[in-house]
Amino acid sequence: MYLVFTTNSFPWLTIFVGLPISAGFLIFVFPHRGNKVIRWYTIFICVLELLLMTYAFAYYFQLDDPLIQLTESYKWINFFDFYWRLGIDGLSLGPILLTGFITTLATLAARPITRDSRLFHFLMLAMYSGQIGLFSSQNLLLFFIMWELELIPVYLLLAMWGGKQRLYSATKFILYTAGSSVFLLMGALGIAFYASNEPTFNFETSANQSYPVTLEILFYIGFLIAFAVKSPIIPLHTWLPDTHGEAHYSTCMLLAGILLKMGAYGLVRINMELLSHAHSIFSSWLIIVGAIQIIYAASTSSGQKNLKKRIAYSSVSHMGFTIIGICSISDMGLNGAILQIISHGFIGAALFFLSGTSYDRIRLVYLDEMGGMATLMPKIFMMFSILSLASLALPGMSGFFAELVVFFGIITAKKYFLMPKILITFVTAVGTILTPIYLLSMLRQMFYGYKLFNATNSYFFDSGPRELFVSIAILLPVISIGIYPDFVFSLSVDKVEAILSNYFYS
């Protein structure tokens, strides 16, 4: 069965996927004119890509249509019917725009990097491509390829520009993620070879397929392991604090802002959409895991002395809300999960950015060594406070709304009985008490109080215009989503409804 050229006019998505990496290759042929040219060039490419995406989505994407749009399908490998199939729908639109936004800002944040700046910027652009390719691929094998494609840049970024223990962390990262993607590949091949003689990797055809229950459960477990490592879901999360603790903060922004979201996105895209029966079996267990994760990661976070690890565990804790939202199998829960994906993408990235910039100044990573930075760096203090408050779900910021909607998702879920609902809600809500404990004590240890720094070997600048710009640029969407959450809801509402129509009780 040949799919016709469904692209109506212009291969937008192919351009979006191809542009950054091909522009990245050009970096290597640049004449040696210093790092400045490379930096400006990379930022230019990122901004161009972001603007193009915004333009294309604004004009060629219908929000009220739950089907896949802007589809492109080119035959790539004739031998086993492998297509270059791209397309986006309401589910992937948000993460793609998030990717563009965060990557641009991360490139801007990475300006202090001078060592090997060619390779660094090339890797940033390669990641950009990989991520957009992942979010827009409509083919299982392509999804897998993109999944693998962005691993290599992260590994290199971590291993070359990380902190002291970078090799250990990088190895851990690559072992975890590469190990998990074996399961992804197995699942993908299993789905592809089931039922028909020739492999079908197409999402749409596999979505309509039904499998024997045991087989579906097996597939589900395979995909779940892959996404659980990435998302992360406990107990497969330990790569994350190490990786975040060691990586340069621009890499951290990408990791926290986008990479973690790939796992959650995969859960919705593959586990929920393709394997709906298995999902309804597994979701009641996963929701418990999600609730435990929130508490567990939050309490682990307050035990961390390392600033970046503390924020990393807070990411783990916040991703618990996504899992709960996905597993509540209710309209609001899933919407909330998507909102949480976007919202935490902003907030997590911003917190890592700020912690990195303050590390640049004081050169201390342990919280108990810090103190009294507020008078020296009032602007960083302000942004840090605001974003910590955003992270602890203060109303008026996006985090609050995402968590609230997830809560309503649990309450309105028709799948569960009253008692489990009460328990899950209760346990999840305990997380809202633990969150301020670790975030505020982080603020307290860093900024409050006073301390005499040895004036000779440390120098303090407050945020410069670039850093201020980055943090405000992240703050603005956080606040605007918090005030008017329909910005994000309007993207995903119809698609969510379409996904949930596969489930009986919703």
Closest to other proteins by CB, 288 vs 440, is 440
Minimum distance from residue 72 beta carbon to other proteins (Å)? 31
The C-alpha atoms of residue 503 and residue 506 are separated, in whole angstroms, by: 6
Region near other proteins per CB under 8 A, out of 121-129, 204-212, 319-327, 481-489: 481-489
Q: According to the 3-state scheme, what is the secondary structure of 406-449?
A: HHHHHHHCCCCCHHHHHHHHHHHHHHHHHHHHHHHHHHHHHHCC
Residue 502 binds to other proteins (criterion: CB under 8 A): no
Closest to other proteins by CB, 213 vs 472, is 472
The C-alpha atoms of residue 417 and residue 505 are separated, in whole angstroms, by: 12
Q: Name which position in 175, 182, 423, 476 contacts other proteins (CB under 8 A).
A: 175
The C-alpha atoms of residue 383 and residue 350 are separated, in whole angstroms, by: 9
299 class by beta-carbon count within 10 Å (0-12 exposed, 13-18 middle, 19+ buried): middle
Minimum distance from residue 375 beta carbon to other proteins (Å)? 5
Residue 182 binds to other proteins (criterion: CB under 8 A): no
Which amino acid does the sequence have at 344? H
Residue 425 binds to other proteins (criterion: CB under 8 A): yes
The count of chain residues that interact with other proteins, using the rule CB under 8 A, is 63
- Is 42 in a helix, a strand, or coil? helix
Pattern 393-422, binding to other proteins, x per CB under 8 A? -xxx---x---x--xx--xx-----x--x-
The C-alpha atoms of residue 122 and residue 45 are separated, in whole angstroms, by: 11
Which amino acid does the sequence have at 393? A
The C-alpha atoms of residue 460 and residue 109 are separated, in whole angstroms, by: 18
The C-alpha atoms of residue 323 and residue 302 are separated, in whole angstroms, by: 22
Region near other proteins per CB under 8 A, out of 1-9, 73-81, 180-188, 294-302: 294-302
Closest to other proteins by CB, 302 vs 480, is 302
The C-alpha atoms of residue 40 and residue 306 are separated, in whole angstroms, by: 33
Pattern 433-472, binding to other proteins, x per CB under 8 A? xx-xxx-xx--x--xxxx-x--x------------x---x
Region near other proteins per CB under 8 A, out of 51-59, 72-80, 235-243, 317-325: 235-243
Residue 304 binds to other proteins (criterion: CB under 8 A): yes
Taking each helix axis as running N to C, give the angle between helix 90-109 and helix 486-500, from 0 to 180 degrees, rounded to the nearest 10: 140
Minimum distance from residue 399 beta carbon to other proteins (Å)? 12
Window 243 to 262, contacts with other proteins (CB under 8 A): none
Q: Name which position in 50, 151, 332, 351 contacts other proteins (CB under 8 A).
A: 332
Specify whether the backbone of 268 is left (phi greater than 0), alpha (psi in -120 to 50) or beta.
Answer: alpha
Closest to other proteins by CB, 268 vs 332, is 332
For 21, the token pair is 């990496």
Within 137-199, residue ranges assigned H as helices are 140-149, 151-161, 166-193
Q: Name which position in 44, 60, 426, 461 contacts other proteins (CB under 8 A).
A: 426
Window 343 to 372, contacts with other proteins (CB under 8 A): 372
Residue 238 binds to other proteins (criterion: CB under 8 A): yes
Minimum distance from residue 106 beta carbon to other proteins (Å)? 22
Are 384 and 376 in contact, with CB atoms under 8 Å apart? no
Residue 145 binds to other proteins (criterion: CB under 8 A): no
Specify whether the backbone of 455 is left (phi greater than 0), alpha (psi in -120 to 50) or beta.
Answer: alpha
In 3D space, the residue among 232, 333, 269 whose CA is nearest the CA of residue 91 turns out to be 269
Interface residues with other proteins (CB under 8 A)? Answer: 172, 175-176, 234-235, 237-238, 296, 299-304, 331-332, 335, 372, 374-376, 379, 382, 385, 389, 394-396, 400, 404, 407-408, 411-412, 418, 421, 425-426, 429-430, 432-434, 436-438, 440-441, 444, 447-450, 452, 455, 468, 472, 484-486, 489, 493, 497
